[in-house]
Amino acid sequence: MDKEMYDVTIIGGGPIGLFAAFYGGMRQLKVKIIESLPHLGGQLNALYPEKYIYDIAGFPQTKAKDLVDSLVNQAMQFEPTVVLNQTVEGVVKTDDGYFQMVTNKEMHYSKTILISAGIGAFEPRRLNFEHAKQYEGKNLHYFINDLNHFADKDICILGGGDSAVDWALMMEPIANKVSIIHRRNNFRAHEASVRKLEDSDVNILKPYNLKEIHGDDEYIQSITIQNLETNECVSVELDELITNYGFVSSLGPIKEWGLEFHKNSIIVDSTMRTNVEGIYAAGDIVTFKGKVKLIATGFSDAATAISSIKTYIDPKARQQPQHSTSLFEKIKA
């Protein structure tokens, strides 16, 4: 258990949380990040690490994973404490004004909290087979971080949305064989992507549903799929199984912390302050008049929130900091 007190604990290690951690270091705050996923980067890493993002200032296009890598490198300059695979389940404000945060594993302590949880904690829709879990982290995948892992292999992809189709198209040039298995006759991906898929060498199996998983103690070796129109069953051998059945997202316990909400967004003022003194929020999880939900505007929210936290902790500090060049010269000195 880490009983150490932090100036700010950032709930959510996505792009906004990472930039907030960096900016917290710039303002010489002691920072901790708590992330529910097993890695930093939030949705960018979990859903589409190999996809391009086009609305980051100064970058005509950048891969999601490359943006995450840059944000992590930027934040780690100031050595924030990073806690992964933990979800904050409860927050208590003590009589002396500090916060105790209870996760699914331990207790954390902080002077302030910055919520940058995006659309909330989320996890993949997992396969509903009793023995499927034993293959996670082996050759059953809900997340894809490295395309090269799938080179020269026989790949099966379950799903029919944008992510499933995109992964099939990206893997087709490098894999030995790619099969995509969808339970409906029509894909739910963008029309242009579906056309590319139909023109590719990807083996399209529809309308089929997963019926059984076959494997040893280590790896899945094949699956049985069933045609939903004819009931015919087919066995498909594979090296890797990728499941793209979507993600379940929820604000969960955050809604029980006494914060004011409009729909599923936390109401903040122009300083990113919530109605609970000492708790701030930034990014897609917040709402205020004129709010635009982009990564670019989330970065602005994060900088504003951190500056507000700095003055909350140290009333003599300035809300408007010096330019980064001057700040870095002082920090590095």
Q: What is the mean pLDDT of residues 67-96?
A: 94
Q: Which of 250, 238, 231 is nearest to 158 (CA)?
A: 238
User: What's the confidence (pLDDT) of residue 139?
Assistant: 96
pTM of the model: 0.69
Give bridge partners of residue 55 from the DSSP assignment.
Answer: none
Question: Rounded to 5 degrees, what are φ and ψ at 190?
Answer: -60, 145
**Measured between alpha carbons, how far is 156 from 124 in angstroms, rounded to an integer?**
17
Query: Which amino acid is present at 112?
Result: T
Domain chopping of the chain, boundaries: 5-123+248-332, 126-245
Three-state DSSP state, 236: strand
Query: Between the CA of residue 188 and those of 50, 170, 204, 232, what are the distances in Å?
Result: 20, 17, 14, 24
Average confidence score pLDDT of the chain: 90
Q: What is the mean pLDDT of residues 155-169?
A: 92
Question: Rounded to 5 degrees, what are φ and ψ at 110?
Answer: -155, 150
Q: Which fold has domain 5-123+248-332?
A: FAD/NAD(P)-binding domain (3.50.50)
User: What's the confidence (pLDDT) of residue 3?
Assistant: 81
In the CATH hierarchy, which top-level class contains the domain 126-245? alpha beta
Q: What is the mean pLDDT of residues 3-20?
A: 95
- Sign of torsion over alpha carbons 211, 247, 264, 83: positive
The token pair that represents 276 in the structure block:
């609970």
Contact 278, 312 (CB under 8 A): yes
DSSP 8-state assignment for residue 231:
-
User: What's the confidence (pLDDT) of residue 329?
Assistant: 65
Contact 53, 64 (CB under 8 A): yes
Q: Which of 139-143, 194-198, 292-296 has the highest mean pLDDT?
A: 194-198
Q: What is the CA radius of gyration of the chain?
A: 22
Chain-centre distance of CA 319, in angstroms?
A: 30
**Measured between alpha carbons, how far is 250 from 306 in angstroms, rounded to an integer?**
25
User: What's the confidence (pLDDT) of residue 113?
Assistant: 98
User: What's the confidence (pLDDT) of residue 325?
Assistant: 67
Q: What is the mean pLDDT of residues 44-73?
A: 85
**Measured between alpha carbons, how far is 86 from 101 in angstroms, rounded to an integer?**
11
Work out the widest C-alpha separation in the chain, in whole angstroms: 74
The token pair that represents 240 in the structure block:
């890797």
Domain 5-123+248-332 matches domain 126-245 at the CATH topology level: yes
